Structure 1
């Protein structure tokens, strides 16, 4: 449950059916208080595009820190990112879905996490111009203009991605790559290569994350004292130490500390 902060405004903006395969939703946040507000973005292997229309926003992951004053692409997000909105910050986030990043920018994710201005990926100066056109508009108008802007750049979905789509329901299977290969008639090697190409991460990474996400949702929906041993068994962990290891890997928190601080953690939903 989010703690309400007077002067801090946030909202999710849904997209129309035409774009629901591309963007899960837009997220906006403005800080009209007199103090910095820091949140944690939980990793979900997602790729996002962040616009800053006010005071510069600081993103920090591990020892790396980025000061954003205009536009930035981040992802796939594998570790928690702390972001600080100073007074007068005004942020809009585009949450890419599935292969949407590939359809806009190509296989730039293959080398690892991207932290770049989108103009560097497109080799054009279009996002600088877009930023100026959005800066003084209200949030809902910004979202609508962004969707119109993206149309000429969006490539059609590759047929080979269907093998990845077929795999989506089987990430918690014992061998998700093998299950996808059997469904599609492709080799396991092709499934692995295409997974990395279109999504920027391996099927093994996604399988681990989906198991952790299942545990996370059970914790969030639990009332009263959490039965950790039951969660270990339900989610297919070997033991409680493996569950603790995943919490520390994805959130830098023990399960117990996550229960205490979960209101400060934001998670992007597909």
Structure 2
């Protein structure tokens, strides 16, 4: 993805010891003299954002600005989330994986397009203290080491059902039905466990993964310099009934059409790739 002039952003992988907790870390910032606006694709992950320098802000659909003074959590991110970085702003984004946010905080859901203070969730000042520590660390590796060390004492043991849901990888079988049968539980019971630990339903994530496949195929076509997008190939390979269903998903997740996405994709960050 081509970033705007003055914007820098890059992903950093996670140490092996926390591969089941975080998917990646993201470092970004604005080295220009203008406010930079970006859009985060839905990821169905919950994120923690540390803000340094000039405060970054999330922007709601109603135009409300939600500043990130030090540290906030948001998610799971089910729809596109716009944010702005004023000159001098720097951010570090921690991306929780699967049920990791529940294991950390005891809840999996923060209201969509609302941010929360993680210290309020834990009723402590530990994240404010962590932010102060991170301000004194000058390297990405040092920051990641501190984040990894910080998180480990707070993690609860993973639920057996949540573990089965997180590691289920047979696309030919339905996870809910299969795991319900394996545990002699009703499908409704497994659905409730999925929602409790992950913050969304199995049906919702299935729809999202279909949409994400369409986005990645669209990006691949654009990267190859194709002058004309093969919409029917996208519809067929991603399992859509027709073009209207594809358009409906883009409007649902991004609030724009597929054609508009192609036009503005340089301002869109894909947190999963």
Is the pair's TM-score, using the shorter chain for normalization, greater than 0.5?
Answer: yes
Q: 1:231 to 1:19 in 2, by over 3 A?
A: same
Query: How is 1:65-144 mapped onto 2 (pairs within 5 angstroms)?
Result: 65-109=65-109, 112-113=111-112, 115-138=115-138, 139-144=140-145
C-alpha distance in 2 between matches for 1:207 and 1:232: 16
1:241 Cα shift? 0.5
Whole-angstrom distance in 2 between the partners of 1:216 and 1:8: 23
**Does residue 150 of the first structure (1) align with residue 143 of the second (2)?**
no
1:195 paired residue number: 194
Answering whether residue 249 of structure 2 is matched by residue 246 of structure 1, we say yes
Equivalent residue number for residue 160 of structure 1: 161
Residues 61 and 79 in structure 1, CA contact (< 8 A), matched pair in contact too: no
CA distance in 2 between counterparts of 1:23 and 1:106 reads 16
Give me the whole-angstrom Cα distance separating, in 2, the residues matched to 1:221 and 1:169: 26
How far did 1:10 drift?
Answer: 2.0
Partner of 1:181: 180
Aligned to 1:232: 235
Cα-to-partner distance string for 1:141-160 (whole Å, 9 max, x where unaligned) = 22211111111101121112
1:181 Cα deviation from its structure 2 partner: 3.0
CA shift at 1:263, angstroms?
A: 1.7
Query: RMSD of the alignment, in Å?
Result: 1.9
Given that residues 163 and 191 in structure 1 are in contact (C-alpha distance below 8 angstroms), is that contact kept between their aligned partners in structure 2? Answer: no
Whole-Å separation in 1 of the counterparts to 2:174 and 2:24: 31
Q: Any gaps of 5 or more consecutive residues in structure 1?
A: none
- Deviates further, 33-42 or 133-142: 133-142
TM-superposed deviation, 1:140? 2.6
Shift of 1:107: 2.1
Equivalent pairs counted in the alignment come to: 266
Q: Residue in 2 aligned with 1:218?
A: 217
Q: TM-score, normalised by structure 1?
A: 0.91
Q: CA deviation at 1:253?
A: 1.3
CA distance in 1, matches of 2:208, 2:87: 34
Contact persistence 1:166–1:183 (CA under 8 A): no
Secondary structure, in 3 states, of the residue corresponding to 2:20? coil
- Which residue in 2 is equivalent to 1:49? 48
Distance 1:78 1:28, change over 3 A: same
1: CA distance, partners of 2:91 / 2:132: 14
Tell me the distance in 2 between the aligned counterparts of 1:194 and 1:235: 28
Q: How far off its partner does 1:235 sit?
A: 1.5
Instruction: Render the CA deviation track for 1:187-208: whole Å, top value 9, x for unaligned.
Output: 2112101110110011111111
- Structure 1 position 268 matched with structure 2 position 267: no
Q: Which residue of 2 aligns with 1:205?
A: 204
CA contact (8 A) 1:52 1:68 kept: yes
